[in-house]
Amino acid sequence: MAAVTVQHGAHELAIETSHLTRRFGDFTAIDQLNLSVPYGGIFGLLGPNGAGKSTLIKMLTTLMKPSEGSARVAGFDIVQAPGEVRKRIGYVPQLLSADGALTGVENLMLSAKLYGIPGAEQKQRVDEALHYMGLSDSARQLVKRYSGGMIRRLELAQAMIHRPAILFLDEPTIGLDPVACQSVWDRLKALNKEHGMTILMTSHFMDEVDELCDTVAILHQGRLAASDTPEQLKDAVGDEATMTDVFAYFSGGNLDREGSYRDVGQTRMTAKRLG
């Protein structure tokens, strides 16, 4: 895709939260969170199930309103100007967001139209996105016949067709085999390096974090337990520490800590559909 220009808002940070809080009844999922994400990097959001990652992503993508505090995304307030935020972000939910009953082209055309890309440009943008994600040959197949890796790449294509400033990815490689993972990682790196898209992603997969992220934040019980480069975090934890050690150290638990029944169910369902 030639010369993608990413328009930044007047604000210099991609994401900035201030005392951001979200409660569900008595449970506080995100607790007075202050987070700053500069433009240009790949930012990893880690934490055990139930640490508040999905809640945070839902708030930042304007799907959920905070109970308290505020956040600016791409220069706009998520509560005051959600429409402006939506124009400037792309989002790939952890669940399956491509429509299996439509073809790849149809899924992308829908995104192009909903993101207000002018009619004359739509076809070209769709073709470019398909080509970029290596899906040109299967563009006219129904998505339910796609492999897991192809579905994820199509979802990325949908999320980037309007050239957003910031991409939000919730567990982008969950349920994918190593080859499919690599194909998704390559595209993410290219989107970041060649096209300057800022990426915020959650992950459970420490290899993925090592491979992709320049900065990592670890959430624990809705609060920021640590935020730094992976190297700095590893050094802080100890000699020869791995990301897994870092994760365990800051989240006060291990990777296998179970989330709610619904979380686990959805994760498994997604993994099954993509696998």
Partner 1 sequence: MNAVLEFFTKSLAIAEMELRKLLRDPMELLSRAVQPVLWLAIFGQVFSRVRGIPIGNVSYLSFMTPGILAQSVLFTAIFYGIAVIWERDLGIIHKLLASPTPRGALVFGKAIAAGFRGLVQAVIIYLIALAMHISLRTDPIAVIGVLAAVVLGSAVFSTFSLIIACIVKTRERFMGIGQVLTMPLFFASNAIYPLSLMPDWLKVVANVNPLTYLVDALRMLMIDGGQGAHSLLMNFTVLGVVFIVFVFIAAKLYPTLVG
Size of the site for partner 1 (CB under 8 A): 35
Judged by DSSP in three states, 60 sits in helix
Radius of gyration of the chain (CA): 18
In angstroms, the first-to-last Cα distance of the chain is 29
> What x-and-dash track marks residues 228-247 binding partner 1 by CB under 8 A?
--------------------
CB 154 within 8 A of CB 43: no
Residue 173, both tokens: 């490689």
The CB-of-162 to partner 1 minimum distance in angstroms stands at 9
Q: Is 81 among the residues that bind partner 1 (CB under 8 A)?
A: no
The CB-of-150 to partner 1 minimum distance in angstroms stands at 16
Picking from 170, 179, 211, the residue whose alpha carbon sits closest to that of residue 58 is: 170
Could you say which of 42, 56, 89, 219 contacts partner 1 (CB under 8 A)?
Answer: 89
Q: Is 123 among the residues that bind partner 1 (CB under 8 A)?
A: no
Cα 210 to chain centroid distance, Å, stands at 16
The CB-of-235 to partner 1 minimum distance in angstroms stands at 36
Q: Please identify, using beta-carbon distances, which residue of 155 and 208 lies nearer to partner 1.
A: 155
Residue 172 CA: distances (Å) to CA of 54, 132, 154: 13, 17, 12
Q: Is 52 among the residues that bind partner 1 (CB under 8 A)?
A: no
Q: Is 15 among the residues that bind partner 1 (CB under 8 A)?
A: no
Q: Which amino acid is at 59?
A: M
Which residues are near partner 1 by CB under 8 A?
A: 58, 61-64, 83, 86-87, 89, 91-102, 106, 109-111, 113-116, 155, 158-159, 168, 269-270
